[in-house]
Structure 1
C-alpha cells in the first residue's frame, strides 16, 4: 500500500510518465490491453431521454476503507466503462489529509465490486500536488483518454489529461487549457466530428466548448459558451457528467449535473441533481443543446446523499449499458459511491 509519505515524495517529480512498478507485478487485476473488447455485447443505442431511473436498494456500493490509508476517508465520483464483459470503475478516494488519488474496481454484475489495493493514479506534478480528482474516461483506438481535475496550492483547479492502454500505467500530458485560470469537468465525445475535431464540454458554472484533432491539444473557439443554466433546479451552475452517449438518430445524449441556487419547490439550496440534455455537434456544434429535460432524473433522496462531507449532493459522473440495463454511478454527498439503473429502450 502506498503511504501518504510515499505519495507526497512524488509531488514535485518532473517526469510526465507516471508508472507504478508494483501495478505491473501485482496479480489479480483485470488483464486489460489494446485488444480488450469495449462495450456490452448486446448494446442498444438510446433514444433521448433515458427515463425510469431507480436507485439501488443497497447503496452505497463503495465507501472508505480504513485499512488503506489512501482511501481511508471518502470514496466517490467515479468514471466507468464496460471492458471485457466487466464494469470497470476508476473512482476518487481521499485520505485523512483529504488528498485525492484514483482507485480501480471491477465487477461482473455492475453492483458488487472488487477493489485494487493501491491507487492507480496519484499526484506527481506541481499542478496536482493537492490531489487528482473526478475522472472521466473515453477510449479511442485502444487508448484510454482520461480527463481529471488537478488541484494544487499554486495553480488552483486545472482540467488535465492522461492516457493509458491498461488503466494501470499512465502518461500525464498536463493541463488541457493551461491559460484558463479555473477549469475542470471535461467530458469528451468519443467520435471525431465532421469538422475534423473531437469535441469536449467543460466548466463548472456553465458549459464551454473546446476542440482537438488529437485528444491531447485543445483549443477554444471564439463562441465557446455551449450551454447555460435555464431551469429552476440548475440555476446556480451546470457541470458535465459522464462523456456523452450517441443516440440512435445520430445525436448525443449528455448527462449533466445542476445546482439549485435557492430552496424552493422540491429543491434545496446548493442541491446537486442529475439531468439530461440532447446535443447535436453536427447541426449545432457550438450549442445550444437541442433539448433538455425540465426536471432531473436523479436527486439526493437518501440519507447518504443528504448528509456527508458536502450535504445534498448526488453527482453523476459515469453511465454505461451493461447486461440489459443502464447503470449510472455517482458520488453521494462527496462521501460514498452509489448506482442507479434504468431499462434499455426496445
Structure 2
C-alpha cells in the first residue's frame, strides 16, 4: 500500500513564487534535508531549502535560495538537484541551464551547507558531432535528430538525471546518466578523468555496454533517486514516460557488485499521477521522484508533482523488495 501526501508548495517569496518541485534529499537521522527546485516570476530556477522531520512535516524553510545562479552556463537555471555522500564528501549534481543548453554541473564539500561548485561534468559536444561518434541503436540517432530539428545544429548534448551511487564499487565511482531514451551507468576512478575525450570514447566505444535500463515502451526513462543499497541489491527508483507524456515512477533492482546487471524490474509503475495536485500544474500528469529517506521499514519517496509542488509517497521497503526478489 502506498500513501501519498502533498508536503511543500510555493510561497510569495520571489525565487519560488511560480512553483517548487524535484527535490534532492539527504537523510540525517530522523531528519531530511531537502534541496528543491524553485521557479521565480521570471521562470528562472534556483535551489531552495527545507528541513523535514520523520513525519514529513516541514520544521525549517529558507526564505532565500540555498544555491543560486552564479555562472553564465547556468544563467537561466540551476535545476533538479540530486545529493549523495560518498565517504566524507557530499556531491550535489544539478542541471545547469543557459536558456538553450541543459548540461550537468556539480558541487562538492564536506559540509552540505558549504559546498563549492566544480563546473560542468557532462559532455559539451554538439548533437551533430554526437551522431558521428555514437555507436548504439538507431533510437539514439533519432533522439539526436529530434534535438537538432527542434533547437538547431549548434545545440549541445542535453544532460539531465545524472548522479552518483552513494559508495564506490570495486574502488570506482559509479554514475547513472541518461542518453535518451534509456538509462546508462559508467564508472571512473576520479573526477579528473571526466572530460570531452572521456565522453567521446564513452560514446564511441562503450554505449551499448553501458545501457542498464532500457525504455521498453513509451517515450523514455530517466534516473530518479540516487540508488539505495539493500541486502538484495541496489534499489533504483526512476521515471518512465508513456506515449501520452504521463510521467510514472518505476523501480528496478541491480546487482550490488555489478550494477549493470539487472536483477529484476517491476513491469508496472510503482505509482502514477492520481491526485489532482499531481495531474494539474505547470506540466500536467507528472510524478518525478528525486530523493528518498528510510525510517525503519517506511520508505519515503520525495517527488515533484506536475512541476508545481512536492509530494511524498510512503510504503514498506520490505514489501517492495519482496515484489522485486
| Range of TM-score over shorter length | 0.7 to 0.9
Deviation at 1:104, TM superposition (A): 1.1
In 1, are the aligned partners of 2:183 and 2:214 still within 8 Å (CA)?
Answer: no
Structure 2 Cα separation of the partners of residues 295 and 197 of structure 1: 32
In 1, are the aligned partners of 2:87 and 2:167 still within 8 Å (CA)?
Answer: no
In terms of mean alpha carbon deviation, does 303-312 or 197-206 score higher? Answer: 197-206
The equivalent residue for 1:333 is 306
The equivalent residue for 2:122 is 177
2:81 to 135, 138, 151: 135
Structure 2 Cα separation of the partners of residues 217 and 78 of structure 1: 29
In 2, are the aligned partners of 1:305 and 1:312 still within 8 Å (CA)?
Answer: yes
Structure 1 Cα separation of the partners of residues 181 and 236 of structure 2: 16
CA change 1:342–1:215 in 2 (3 A) is farther
Structure 2 Cα separation of the partners of residues 187 and 271 of structure 1: 23
SS for the counterpart of 2:124 is coil
2:212 to 227, 234, 238: 227
The TM-score, its normalising length taken from structure 2, stands at 0.80
- RMSD between superposed Cα atoms in Å: 2.0
Q: CA deviation digits over 1:2-47, x for unaligned, max 9? A: xxxxxxxxxxxxxxxxxxxxxxxxxxxxxxxxxxxxxxxxxxxxxx
1:322 to 282, 292, 295: 295
1:237 to 201, 213, 220: 220
Task: Return the structure number with greater strand share.
Answer: 2
The equivalent residue for 2:131 is none
Deviation at 1:131, TM superposition (A): 0.3
Q: CA deviation digits over 1:122-159, x for unaligned, max 9? A: 111111111000011101233210111000136x0001
In 1, are the aligned partners of 2:255 and 2:262 still within 8 Å (CA)?
Answer: yes
SS for the counterpart of 2:15 is helix
Tell whether 2:241 aligns with 1:259. yes
Tell whether 2:115 aligns with 1:115. no
In 1, are the aligned partners of 2:294 and 2:300 still within 8 Å (CA)?
Answer: yes
In 2, are the aligned partners of 1:87 and 1:110 still within 8 Å (CA)?
Answer: no
SS for the counterpart of 2:277 is helix
Task: Return the structure number with greater helix share.
Answer: 2
Structure 1 Cα separation of the partners of residues 3 and 49 of structure 2: 25
Tell whether 2:23 aligns with 1:78. yes
The equivalent residue for 2:38 is 93
Alignment gaps of 5+ in structure 1: 1-51, 262-268
Deviation at 1:214, TM superposition (A): 3.1
Deviation at 1:322, TM superposition (A): 2.1
Structure 1: which 4+ aligned runs deviate by more than 6 Å?
A: none
Structure 2 Cα separation of the partners of residues 62 and 229 of structure 1: 32
Alignment gaps of 5+ in structure 2: 126-156, 320-325
The equivalent residue for 1:270 is 245
Q: How many residues align?
A: 277
Structure 2 Cα separation of the partners of residues 277 and 323 of structure 1: 21
The equivalent residue for 2:162 is 186
Deviation at 1:184, TM superposition (A): 1.3
Structure 2 Cα separation of the partners of residues 216 and 70 of structure 1: 34
Structure 2 Cα separation of the partners of residues 158 and 316 of structure 1: 20
Query: Which structure carries more relative contact order (alpha carbon 8 Å, separation 6+)?
Result: 1
In 1, are the aligned partners of 2:184 and 2:213 still within 8 Å (CA)?
Answer: no
Q: CA deviation digits over 1:238-262, x for unaligned, max 9? A: 000111111213x21111000001x
Structure 2 Cα separation of the partners of residues 86 and 216 of structure 1: 33
Deviation at 1:302, TM superposition (A): 0.6
Deviation at 1:230, TM superposition (A): 4.4
Structure 1 Cα separation of the partners of residues 289 and 97 of structure 2: 20
The TM-score, its normalising length taken from structure 1, stands at 0.75
SS for the counterpart of 2:236 is strand
Deviation at 1:327, TM superposition (A): 0.5
